[in-house]
């Protein structure tokens, strides 16, 4: 009789050990699973990432989600340790979910054209290092006493007279976590989306240099009329969105001032220094605000009739501008920029002919610009969520 009682006890113990081992194996697999999202033109880099991830023991899986979807939502839906979003062969974004006291991490890695061959290995090594750190920092089981082994806890929990064993139902396809478990283990969808949006706008560190060129139109009431010019800019922008730019504009077309004494051809030249910020940024576009200060030179070339004498003059004035615009990324290293600025000139330039005032300029001054921006250099732009 005693031998008969030990058989059910041993079977129950083996069953409990098997269930616990399977649960731990599932958790371990989730802790090594990374989801890969790849843009249409980045399949080569995505293939390299899969190979490198498998080489170091990670479990790469593909996801057909939209590229613009929040990475936190993708990570929660697939129950993965992190997500890799491949924008191009030189720009990759990674997200690792929170674990224990370690917060979630969102990071953008950009390299130069000469480093693209090693980008996949760099990303995988960085993810593995973060996962190892997070696993080591995870809190221990508070219910386990020092020195206690899991098998001891299972044996203590097994009853002397276990209920009859029932046949396990056939395995069902995985339906994902239950609503209760998802509610306890993951934040609400709104919080995840807000966290992802914050990661998209809160970029810390790094530096990007760019060169821009385009056209600009200027208008100021007072008689001069509108003018059309070409503008160029050399800009440096930090990963946080703050930046400075050196801007210049030279005239292409202006309307002559006509009076009974003759006509005046005028040509404005402009050089400014701008301090700018991008308070709201998305993966493909950003809102930009800026303040400019500089100098303008207006060249006046009069043509008088036979009864008057014409003297060519130049007027140098200070210019102050406040502006807003949008920068849209159309390709890797290439963006379009459109903006509008409002400012004043000081002192106010006044044109007089034969002693009477015929035109003024710069009170106020409105400028509209459209330019193409070419990236020259990008150094390790990164971001992290609090």
All structural domains of the chain with their residue ranges: 2-141+150-165+193-203, 206-378
Computed over every residue of the chain, the mean pLDDT equals 75
125-139 mean pLDDT: 72
The better pLDDT of the pair 260, 272 is held by 272
Q: How confident is the model at residue 28 (pLDDT cuts 50, 70, 90)?
A: very low
- Output the pTM of the full model: 0.51
DSSP letter at 145 equals: P
69-96 mean pLDDT: 82
The CATH code for residues 206-378 is: 2.40.160.20
Do the bridges between strand 356-360 and strand 82-86 make them parallel or antiparallel, or are there none, so unpaired? unpaired
Burial category of 179 from C-beta neighbours within 10 Å (exposed 0-12, middle 13-18, buried 19 and up): exposed
Range with the largest mean pLDDT of 70-74, 185-189, 320-324, 376-380: 320-324
d(CA 294, CA 174): 64
H-run or E-run covering 48: helix 43-55
Can you read off the two tokens belonging to residue 271? 């050089």
The better pLDDT of the pair 275, 202 is held by 275
The better pLDDT of the pair 233, 112 is held by 233
Q: Which of 327, 76, 319, 86 is nearest to 218 (CA)?
A: 319
Domain pair 2-141+150-165+193-203 / 206-378, same fold? no
Indicate if the pLDDT at residue 238 is higher than 50: yes
CATH classification for the domain delimited by 2-141+150-165+193-203, as one of 3.40.50.300, 3.30.470.30, 1.10.3720.10, 3.40.50.800: 3.40.50.800
Do the bridges between strand 33-38 and strand 59-62 make them parallel or antiparallel, or are there none, so unpaired? parallel
């Amino acid at each position: 009789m005693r031998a008969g009682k030990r058989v059910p006890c041993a079977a129950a113990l083996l069953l409990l050990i098997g269930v616990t081992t399977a649960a731990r194996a599932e958790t371990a697999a989730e802790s090594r699973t990374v989801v890969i999202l790849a843009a249409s033109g980045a399949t080569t880099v995505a293939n390299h990432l899969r190979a490198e991830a498998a080489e170091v023991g990670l479990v790469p899986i593909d996801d057909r989600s939209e590229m613009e979807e929040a990475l936190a939502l993708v990570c929660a839906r697939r129950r993965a340790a992190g997500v890799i979003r491949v924008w191009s062969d030189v720009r990759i974004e990674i997200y690792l979910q929170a674990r224990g006291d370690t917060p979630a991490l969102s990071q953008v890695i950009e390299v130069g054209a000469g480093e693209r061959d090693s980008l996949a290995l760099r990303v995988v090594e960085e993810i593995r290092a973060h996962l190892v750190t997070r696993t080591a920092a995870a809190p221990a089981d508070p219910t386990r006493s020092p020195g206690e082994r899991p098998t001891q806890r299972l044996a203590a929990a097994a009853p002397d007279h276990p209920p009859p064993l029932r046949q396990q139902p056939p395995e069902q396809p995985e339906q994902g976590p239950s609503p209760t478990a998802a509610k306890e283990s993951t934040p609400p969808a709104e919080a995840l989306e807000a966290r992802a949006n914050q990661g998209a706008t809160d970029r810390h560190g790094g530096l990007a240099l760019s060169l821009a060129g385009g056209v600009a139109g200027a208008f100021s009431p007072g008689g001069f009329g509108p003018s059309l010019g070409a503008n160029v800019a050399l800009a440096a922008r930090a990963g946080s969105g703050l930046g400075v730019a050196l801007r210049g504009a030279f005239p292409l077309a202006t309307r002559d001032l006509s009076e009974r004494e003759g006509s005046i051809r005028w040509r404005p030249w402009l050089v400014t220094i701008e301090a700018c910020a991008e308070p709201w940024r998305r993966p493909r576009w950003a809102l930009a605000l800026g303040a400019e200060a500089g100098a303008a030179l207006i060249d006046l070339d009069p043509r008088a009739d036979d009864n008057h004498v014409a003297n060519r003059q130049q007027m140098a004035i200070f210019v102050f501008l406040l502006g807003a615009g949008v920068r849209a990324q159309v390709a890797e290293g290439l963006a379009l920029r459109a903006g509008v600025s409002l400012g004043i000139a000081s002192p106010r330039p006044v044109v007089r002919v034969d002693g009477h005032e015929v035109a003024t300029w710069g009170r106020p001054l409105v400028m509209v610009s459209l330019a193409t921006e070419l990236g020259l250099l990008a150094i390790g732009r990164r971001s992290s969520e609090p």
